[in-house]
Amino acid sequence: MSTLKFIVKRFLYLILLLFGVASCVFFISKMVPGDAVSAYLSPRSLSNPEIVDAFKAKWGLDDSLIVQYYHYIQNLMHLDLGVSIRTGNPVMDELKRSYPATMELAFFSILFASVFGILFGVISATKRNSLIDQTVRAISVTGVSIPSFWFAIIMLYIFYSRLGWAPGIGRLGVRIPNPLHITGMYVLDGLLTGNMNAVKDALQHLVLPSIVLGSFTMGLITRNTRSSLLETLSTDYIRTARAKGMGKGRIMFIHAFGNAAIPVLTVIGVGFGNLLGGMVVVEKIFSWPGVGQFAYQSVLALDFPAIVGVSLLIAVNYAIINIVIDILYGVIDPRVRVHR
């Protein structure tokens, strides 16, 4: 099957998947106890039937479930996710506002996780069973098991409060104006507009949350890189390469790492998807105005249109990441393309 056909097929699956997710999230949100009426209206308003009726009519909550579902799917087909009850703005606008902040943080987290995860994994495999190996393995276990809310507070306390090496919370210093909005990603917007002050400050603000958010994925990548490399290093062709007198570095990075990369790539892909789903805690602690923060506030307010919107966004992310990873498999290892 050609790569193009493969991609088209996967996108058709994606549409089906989104329809399924959208339907599930809609019906689950209608089944859970508690509703937007009692979450949003004050006790005094709830005692006034006219206000309750007006609220239900405004948000279409007085329609039957099937009619609500019909309108919801119809709107979805026009990429209309409805209006957030909490903020009064279209959910699509809220996601457009918050998504770049999350993507920026996710990108730097995965960059941190990949760079240090692969580096530690290679070192660990090369120095197998040495003190360095033991140390790196301990770091990776810590990275995987440390609770992010605790880690975030400790990092802030040490590097921001005690040492003063890192800035505090938020995407930029409170007193620094936001760069001109182009993509919504401050580093990129700062670079595009030549606002290097904002670029520098945004990068500094990315360090701590990226480390906290990326530590779990870094641990996974380290462990996978190490085990994949060790497995590959024990194969016959590596032994042959050694027998032919090839250098250690060339064996490691050209022959061994290329073959060990596929499982590592899978971990990076899954890790990236997890980052987007697991932003809530880190975004709350670092006051990061991203999708996680939006989801957190929406859940507290039982703002179902917003919750459904966030769920769909995360589903789309997972699906797209999986497609990209599948395509990359083929790029790294042509044998994968043959078997599609």
Partner 1 sequence: MKKKTLLLFLVMLAFSIASVSSAGQSDSSAPAADENAPLVIAIEPDYFTFDPGYAYELYAPMVIGVVYDNLFQVIPSSDAPVPQLAKSYKVSDSGLVYTFTLRQDAKFTSGNPVMAKDVKFSFDRALNLQSNASALMDGIVSVDVVDDYTVSITIAKADSAFVSKTTSTAFAVLDSVVIMAQGGVSDSSAPTADKAQTYLDHQSAGSGPYILQSFTADDKLILVRNENYWGDLPEFKTIIIQDMPDENAQLLAVKGGDIDIAFNLSSDQLSQLDGSDVQVISGSTMTMGFLMMNNNPAIGKQVSDANVQKAIRYAVDYQGLQTLIGAGTVTPESFIQVGFMGSKDPINTSTQNNLKKAKDFLSKSAYPDGFSIDFTVCDLAPEGIPLTLIAEKIKSDLEKIGISINIVQDTWGGGFGDAYREGTVGFTAMYWGPDYYDPNTQLAFLPGQYVGLRAGWTGDMNPDLAGMYDKIVAEADLKTRTKMIKDVVTETGADSPFIVYAQYPKYIAASSALKGVNYSNLYRLDLAAVTK
Give whole-number Cα distances, 339 to 3, 270, 326, in Å.
Answer: 12, 22, 12
Nearer to partner 1, 34 or 245 (CB): 34
**Nearest-approach distance from CB 293 to partner 1, in angstroms:** 5
Nearer to partner 1, 21 or 176 (CB): 176
**Nearest-approach distance from CB 176 to partner 1, in angstroms:** 6
Cβ contacts of residue 331 below 8 Å, gap of 6+? none
- Report the SS3 class of residue 325: helix
Calculate the dihedral angle through the C-alpha atoms of 83, 88, 94, 95, rounding to the nearest 10 degrees: -30
Nearer to partner 1, 77 or 249 (CB): 249
Closest CA to 276 of 265, 293, 294, 292: 292
Largest CA distance in the chain: 87
Nearer to partner 1, 202 or 315 (CB): 202
**Nearest-approach distance from CB 317 to partner 1, in angstroms:** 19
**Nearest-approach distance from CB 98 to partner 1, in angstroms:** 7
In the chain, what are the helix, strand and coil shares in percent, each to the nearest 5?
75, 0, 20
- Report the SS3 class of residue 1: coil
Nearer to partner 1, 155 or 325 (CB): 155
**Nearest-approach distance from CB 319 to partner 1, in angstroms:** 26
